[in-house]
Amino acid sequence: MTKKPSKPSNKKEKKPPKGLDDTALWGHVAASIEPLDERHKNLLKVAGDGTAPASSPVSQKKRTFFPPLKAPGDAKPPPKKRPVLQDLDHGTSIGVDKSTATRLKKGRQPIEGRLDLHGMIQSEAHPALDAFIENAYRSGKRAVLVITGKGTKLDGSVGVLRQAVPRWLNLPPNRPRILAFSHATAKDGGEGALYVLLKRKR
């Protein structure tokens, strides 16, 4: 079926009057434009060779990648900071009930382990003390005795180990395992020995 040739339009194109400036000329052209009907809306324009027109430079740009948002439950809570432990001294009993502290000071707490550092030098005594406290703690022992020796000198000063052992007990890894320490009674060495109360193993 052949299409009938379309009839030439009777409308004559209006020629713009002479002597108009650019603004007036554009107004004249715009007034003669007719809007497309419904059939011509949203149609893809095809180039003369039958291919779709090239995409605009904006569409060819690489898209920015945004990682997926994590659900609130996926975030790991920050690690809890360990509380700073207060240094212990002879007779102090932080976190120990009064009756237990009294039994320790008076030598009534059963002694479950004993370490004699008397005669050792510091380089030998310090690791020996650390190993002894660790083994006693892991074994579930509660009270142990550490013998330092009095080491009293002619000038009235005390021995090196007698001064050093309380300091070593306040250092890691010993301090987190210890509740209290105190001078021993005379029968267990007096000021030349220490009762050490250990925490219960968790």
Q: What is the pLDDT of residue 186?
A: 95
What are φ and ψ of residue 132, in 5° steps? -65, -45
Phi-psi category of 94—alpha, beta or left, where left has phi over 0 and alpha has psi -120 to 50?
beta
The verdict on residue 54 lying in a domain is no
Tens of pLDDT, residues 147-183? 999 877 667 677 899 999 999 999 999 999 999 999 9
Q: Is the pLDDT of residue 95 over 80?
A: no
d(CA 37, CA 25): 26
Tens of pLDDT, residues 119-130? 899 999 999 999
Q: What is the pLDDT of residue 61?
A: 52
Q: What is the pLDDT of residue 121?
A: 95
The verdict on residue 63 lying in a domain is no
The verdict on residue 40 lying in a domain is no
Q: How many domains does the structure of the chain reveal? A: 1
The verdict on residue 117 lying in a domain is yes
Q: What is the mean pLDDT of the chain?
A: 78
Tens of pLDDT, residues 15-72? 656 665 677 667 766 676 666 665 555 554 554 555 555 555 544 555 666 666 665 5
Question: What CATH number corresponds to the domain at position 170?
Answer: 3.30.1370.110
d(CA 68, CA 61): 21
Percent of residues, the chain, with pLDDT higher than 70: 57
Show the DSSP H helices in the chain as ranges. 22-31, 57-60, 98-105, 122-138, 160-169
Per-residue pLDDT band at 5 (split at 50, 70, 90):
low
Per-residue pLDDT band at 14 (split at 50, 70, 90):
low
Specify whether the CB–CB gap between 112 and 143 falls below 8 A.
yes
Phi-psi category of 150—alpha, beta or left, where left has phi over 0 and alpha has psi -120 to 50?
alpha
Q: Which domain holds residue 178?
A: 98-198
Residue that wins the pLDDT comparison between 55 and 116: 116
